[in-house]
Each structure stands twice: as C-alpha cells, then as structure tokens.
Amino acid sequence: MESRSVKSSSRLDVVKWLVVFLLVTVGVVGNQYFAAESLLYRVIALVVLAAIAAFVAVQTSRGGRFAALLKEARVEIRKVVWPTRPELIQTTVIVIVFVLVVALLLWVMDSLISLLVAGFIG
C-alpha cells in the first residue's frame, strides 16, 4: 500500500515539476514576445509567474524539503552574534593595514627580483 502512494506522489511530483518548467518557459518566451510592451508590465508578469512556479515547486517533496531548509537556515542566522560597530571598524582597519603591509613587502620583493634579473641580463 505504501509503495502505491510513493509512486503516485512521485508521478504527481513529476507533473508538478513539468508545470514549473512550463511556467518558467512561458515567462522567458513571453518576455521576448512582449518586448515592445512596457518593462513594468513584463516585470509584474514575471514576478507573478515566478511566484506561481515557486508555489507549485514547494508542493513537491523536494520543494518541501528545500522550504524546510530555508526555515532552518533563517533560525540559524538569528542565532549568530553579529559584531558591534566598534568591533567591525577595528577589524576592518586591521585588515586594511595588513593588506597594505603585505602589498609593500611584495612590491619590495618584486623590485629586488627585477634588479637581480636586470643585473644578470645586463
């Protein structure tokens, strides 16, 4: 009994993905076909088609798992302790100074190597 429901939901998922593909195709072709129309109207139509396609995609098993993943990611982002403004500025200054020091060292090394090569070549 369970294998029947898995097969039917699998077939239904295939149909749903075909609908999603069809909606995306209609959006792309329609955007080209109606190129003479106002950009605002075309953008509105694409947003509506994308929303419908996303809704249909979320109804599939993979789409549902993806939606759950997005919810879990959002929860994890809320758990992150973001740096304060002074910490951010201090870290940025340290990175900039370090990059400048490394750039200076590389420039000196490049100049020395150029002088050595010029000395050997003549």
Residue 9 has pLDDT above 80, yes or no: no
Task: State the pLDDT confidence band at 99, using cuts at 50, 70 and 90.
Answer: very high
Residue 87 CA to residue 91 CA, distance in Å, equals 6
Higher pLDDT, 22 or 11: 22
Residue 36 has pLDDT above 60, yes or no: yes
The overall average pLDDT reported for the chain is: 93
| pTM, two decimal places | 0.60
Q: Which two tokens stand for residue 77?
A: 């982002």
Dmax (CA) for the chain in angstroms is: 87
Residue 45 CA to residue 24 CA, distance in Å, equals 11
- What pLDDT does residue 122 have? 77
Residue matched to tokens 């003549």: 122
Residue 122 CA to residue 115 CA, distance in Å, equals 10
DSSP string, 90-106: HHHHHHHHHHHHHHHHH
Task: State the pLDDT confidence band at 4, using cuts at 50, 70 and 90.
Answer: low
Mean pLDDT value across residues 15-29: 96
Domain-by-domain residue ranges, the chain? 1-80, 82-122
- What pLDDT does residue 5 have? 58
pLDDT in tens, 71-90: 999 999 999 999 999 999 99
